Structure 1
Amino acid sequence: MRRYGPAILLLLTGAAILRISLFSELYLRYVQSGLRPYLVVSGAVLVLLGAAAGVVRWRGRHADEEYEEGHGHAHPGPRPAWLLALPALALLLFPPPALGSYSAGREAAQRAAQGVGTFPALPSGDPVRLTLAEFSSRAIYDSGRSLKGRTVRMTGFVTQDDDGTWYVTRLYVTCCAADATTSKIEIRGNASSGHPPTDAWVTVTGTWRPKGELGSDAAWPPVLDAGSVVRVKQPLDPYEKR
């Protein structure tokens, strides 16, 4: 069987890529949706290469056997090479979860690379559905205070500090999970008590509580006085887009 190791490794890797990109939406845990066609093509090419390599190995088996009869035993490849198949097999059977509170906790206070200024008016009607990045930018940099008096609704996962302060958090990406950065909102108010456990997904509805001077470190992270906190399922695409 060691003769077919490279072919099996190609097949496992290709099958794993196809599993997360063609037969499910799991690829959204790692890359943006626009990269799906490239993943599908890559997976298909790897499967074809693996199949072709297997056929070549099978056809060459008889020649090797004849060589062994005339010249002694051939030297098989090293056994540790099979360990290379383990990551591909793990991805095929047990795809890792999306980034969560651990990744968010490693991120320092990230804020939008922009100065204080005015923002476009929010849509009419409450509550207004916003991403965490949109809320954070307006809370920290909007000199027009467009959030004042408005009820907003956002979805993210729970993170918390050692002192019990908790946040609704979201990771946002440019290309893939490797470049993910953090946006988080501190949750206060009557609905903030008894929050769900870390990494649970929630939808929060509430009003902005001004904090600190615009554009300063004291304004981060922004604060939401929550009127309701509802536990929800993780979205199909867990990341916000820049």
Structure 2
Amino acid sequence: MMKWYSEVGLTPAAYWTLAWEQAAQSDSRVGNDAEEESYWQQHAPVYDERNPLAPYTAELMGTVIASLRSEDELIEVGPGTGGFTQLLAPHVGKLTVVEPSAAMYEILARSWEQSGLAQNVPEAIRMKWEEASGLVCDVLFSANAFYRIRDMKESLAQMSLTAGRRVYLVQSIGLPFAHPLRAMYGGKQLERSRAQVICDILQEMAVPHQMDTFAVQRKSGAVHDVALISWDT
């Protein structure tokens, strides 16, 4: 995989940043916090009615849950409306979410109260992951929350420092559920899946990790792969 980058003339981390910068030029949501929040104010209330991922990931989440301990403190980065949060909460002692979107967290809290879960609504740290610091947990989990991160290498390093035992990242693969990372460089259009580039950056950082893929059938009936990327810290 690294041969591809050497031929292109970019490191994996540099490729991610370049793709982010070019995406931000065409999609204001990528780099503009106000635009992102405006989008979710409109779409968060109907997000779970359309085609959510969490309810269809039994095999994938079974792998994650099997490693959790009842006394664990878990941080979830970018929980959105809380579909994965509700799956994780019964298996840990404490769950905290890092969620910058007020609109998303409002739906998470409302759904939580309607779910009948015994635990209180998770405490929310209301900022972007890149701006959070000094957090500590046993396990860190995040699903499809990476599209607005400019410096993925720094964010992955921060995840490793935060988690005392293990990090789990979930990333959908394939359109229409996940756009690949695209960048124009050297007169060529380059394209790689986000999941693969995350793994490539971990390799660049010399972080031993694994990526398992699961075929997931969504509410619409469409089947696509979802990657579970994980490593010990």
TM-score, normalising length from structure 1?
Answer: 0.30
Larger strand fraction of residues: 2
Query: In terms of Rg, which structure is larger?
Result: 1
